[in-house]
């Protein structure tokens, strides 16, 4: 029994070693094919560089448009909140009733701060700002109402929440009407949404063109090596074995094209950075362009690699199976 058990154990160990060895040689073969395909690209430097440049520039545009949206969102993020709500008090309300309103509004959980501006103070401020001080002296009475400025909490400064709060505050009996200037904010959000949709559409078109460019490049490479493929099939090579070098070529095009696109985007951001800083200085503000983060850089290269693989796979899957030894 012990000899039989030892024999089975040795067979299992040999099978395990054989499996490990097969896996090792499989990985080694894939690595060799990758290095070989990179060497093939090196043997035709001009053609490879032209293809990589076209791919890189095709990827640069959607990456740049993405950064445009990203930086515009950064600029607009400071304006995404409604600053305050203006409540105009009815003329019939006394000062005591108005003060009661102010105290009651301060108890609202949606309200962060309440400021009361009397009609007298509003008139003085209007004279200083408008430049019509002398003309206002001829008025028989103060035409301005008392105003209560309500600052919402951070949770209620978004356009929809602020609008709902305005409707709620206008129901107070002392309030004549309220005003929340968010029309410009809604227009800004609409323009930003349109910009995003446009960027997505352009990016999809350019990424499709990248896939087609890689696919066509691999097709030309397959046609150039048609006789070599026929000989390989004649000696028994499978389509899967023949596919590998061409798939690797597409992957290398994607990787190098993605790196080239990242370099172009980085140089562009560096070039525009100083100009943007100067423009921001003119408007007495500070703003720095945001480039691609490490995760976004990895995503760009991964996307380019995936497109390279897809483009090459579509070509080899169609054209290599059409090449047969009997057509030599």
Q: What is the pLDDT of residues 98-121, one digit of tens each?
A: 888 888 888 888 888 888 887 777
pLDDT at 32: 72
- Tell me the pLDDT of the chain averaged across its residues: 80
More confident residue, 14 or 80: 14
Q: State how beta strands 111-117 and 85-89 pair.
A: unpaired
- Exposed, middle or buried by CB within 10 Å (0-12, 13-18, 19+), for 114? buried
Please give the order of strands across the beta sheet that includes 111-117. 111-117, 147-152, 85-89, 175-179
What percent of the chain stands above pLDDT 70?
78
211 and 69, same structural domain? Answer: yes
Which region among 4-8, 34-38, 156-160, 169-173 has the lowest average model confidence (pLDDT)?
4-8
264 and 197, same structural domain? Answer: yes
For residue 95, the surrounding DSSP H or E stretch is: helix 95-106
Q: Which of 140, 135, 169 is nearest to 152 (CA)?
A: 169
N-terminal to C-terminal alpha carbon distance within the chain: 60
pLDDT at 25: 56
Which region among 120-129, 232-241, 316-325 has the lowest average model confidence (pLDDT)?
120-129
79-93, 100-114, 304-318, range with greatest mean pLDDT? 304-318
CATH number, domain of 177, equals 3.30.70.3040
71 and 192, same structural domain? Answer: yes
Please state the rounded mean pLDDT for residues 299-313. Answer: 93
Please state the rounded mean pLDDT for residues 200-212. Answer: 91
193 and 163, same structural domain? Answer: no
- Looking at 128, 158, 181, the residue that finishes a domain is 181
168 and 99, same structural domain? Answer: yes
Per DSSP, the residues of 116-135 read EE-HHHHHHHHHHHHS-HHH
311 and 192, same structural domain? Answer: yes
Cβ contacts of 36-39, under 8 Å, gap ≥ 24: 36/245, 36/248, 37/245, 37/246, 37/248, 37/249, 37/252, 38/248, 38/252
Give the domain extent around 276.
Answer: 31-78+187-327
pLDDT at 146: 81
62 and 194, same structural domain? Answer: yes
Q: How many domains does the chain have?
A: 2
Looking at the predicted structure, is the pLDDT value of residue 129 above 50? yes
191 and 271, same structural domain? Answer: yes
- The answer to whether position 128 is within a domain reads yes
Please state the rounded mean pLDDT for residues 54-65. Answer: 91
Q: What is the DSSP letter of 143?
A: -
More confident residue, 268 or 186: 268
- The answer to whether position 21 is within a domain reads no
Looking at the predicted structure, is the pLDDT value of residue 31 above 60? yes
pLDDT at 5: 46
How far lies 20's CA from each of 17, 101, 273, in Å?
A: 5, 81, 53
- The answer to whether position 252 is within a domain reads yes
48 and 93, same structural domain? Answer: no
Looking at the predicted structure, is the pLDDT value of residue 133 above 60? no
- Quote the CA–CA distance of 158 and 305 in Å, as a whole number: 40
79-88, 201-210, 271-280, 319-328, range with greatest mean pLDDT? 201-210
In this structure, what are the phi and psi dihedrals at residue 86, rounded to the nearest 5 degrees? -100, 120
Other C-beta atoms closer than 10 Å to the C-beta of 75 total 13
- The answer to whether position 22 is within a domain reads no
- The answer to whether position 52 is within a domain reads yes
315 and 203, same structural domain? Answer: yes
- The answer to whether position 173 is within a domain reads yes
- The answer to whether position 293 is within a domain reads yes
Cβ contacts of 103-111, under 8 Å, gap ≥ 24: 104/172, 105/148, 105/150, 105/169, 105/172, 108/169, 109/153, 110/152, 110/153, 110/155, 110/156, 110/161, 110/165, 110/168, 111/150, 111/151, 111/152, 111/153, 111/165
pLDDT at 265: 93
pLDDT at 143: 64
- Looking at 125, 160, 181, the residue that finishes a domain is 181
Please state the rounded mean pLDDT for residues 140-145. Answer: 68
- Looking at 181, 212, 230, the residue that finishes a domain is 181
Looking at the predicted structure, is the pLDDT value of residue 76 above 60? yes
Digit-coded pLDDT (tens) for 18-27: 656 555 555 6
More confident residue, 162 or 5: 162
pLDDT at 317: 87
pLDDT at 295: 93
**Residue burial 291-322, b: 16+ Cβ < 10 Å; e: rest:** bbeeebbeebbebbbebbbbbbbbbbeebbee
Whether the Cβ atoms of residue 292 and residue 299 lie closer than 8 Å to each other: no
Which region among 51-55, 106-110, 124-128, 261-265 has the lowest average model confidence (pLDDT)?
124-128
288 and 239, same structural domain? Answer: yes
Please state the rounded mean pLDDT for residues 252-281. Answer: 88
201 and 307, same structural domain? Answer: yes
Looking at the predicted structure, is the pLDDT value of residue 298 above 80? yes
More confident residue, 325 or 87: 87
- Quote the CA–CA distance of 251 and 36 in Å, as a whole number: 13
- The answer to whether position 16 is within a domain reads no
- Quote the CA–CA distance of 229 and 316 in Å, as a whole number: 11
């Amino acid at each position: 029994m012990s000899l039989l058990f030892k024999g089975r154990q040795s067979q299992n160990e040999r099978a395990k070693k054989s499996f490990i060895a097969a896996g090792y040689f499989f990985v080694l073969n894939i690595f060799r094919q990758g290095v070989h395909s990179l060497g093939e690209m090196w043997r035709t430097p001009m053609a490879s560089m032209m293809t990589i440049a076209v791919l890189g520039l095709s990827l640069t545009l959607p990456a740049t448009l993405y950064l445009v949206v990203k930086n515009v969102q950064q600029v607009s993020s400071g304006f995404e909140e409604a600053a305050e709500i203006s409540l105009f008090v009815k003329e019939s309300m006394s000062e005591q009733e108005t003060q009661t309103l102010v105290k009651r509004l301060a108890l609202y959980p949606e309200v962060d701060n309440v400021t009361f501006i009397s009609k007298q103070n509003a008139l003085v401020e209007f004279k200083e700002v408008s430049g019509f001080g002398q003309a206002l002296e001829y008025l028989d009475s103060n035409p301005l109402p008392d105003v209560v400025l309500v600052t919402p909490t951070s949770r209620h400064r978004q356009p929809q929440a602020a609008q709902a709060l305005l409707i709620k505050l206008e129901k107070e009996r002392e309030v004549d009407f309220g005003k929340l200037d968010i029309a410009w904010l809604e227009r800004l959000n609409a323009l930003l949404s349109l910009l995003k949709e446009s960027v997505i559409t352009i990016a999809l078109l350019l990424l499709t063109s990248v896939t087609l460019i890689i696919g066509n490049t691999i097709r030309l490479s397959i046609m150039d090596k048609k006789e070599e493929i026929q000989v390989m099939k004649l000696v028994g090579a499978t389509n899967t074995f023949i596919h590998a070098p061409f798939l690797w070529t597409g992957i290398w095009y994607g990787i190098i094209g993605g790196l080239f696109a990242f370099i172009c985007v980085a140089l562009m951001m560096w070039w525009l950075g100083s100009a943007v800083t100067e423009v921001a200085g003119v408007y007495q503000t500070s703003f720095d362009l945001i480039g691609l983060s490490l995760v976004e850089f990895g995503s760009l290269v991964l996307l380019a690699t995936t497109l390279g693989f897809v483009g090459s796979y579509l070509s080899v899957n169609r054209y290599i199976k059409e090449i047969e030894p009997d057509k030599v």
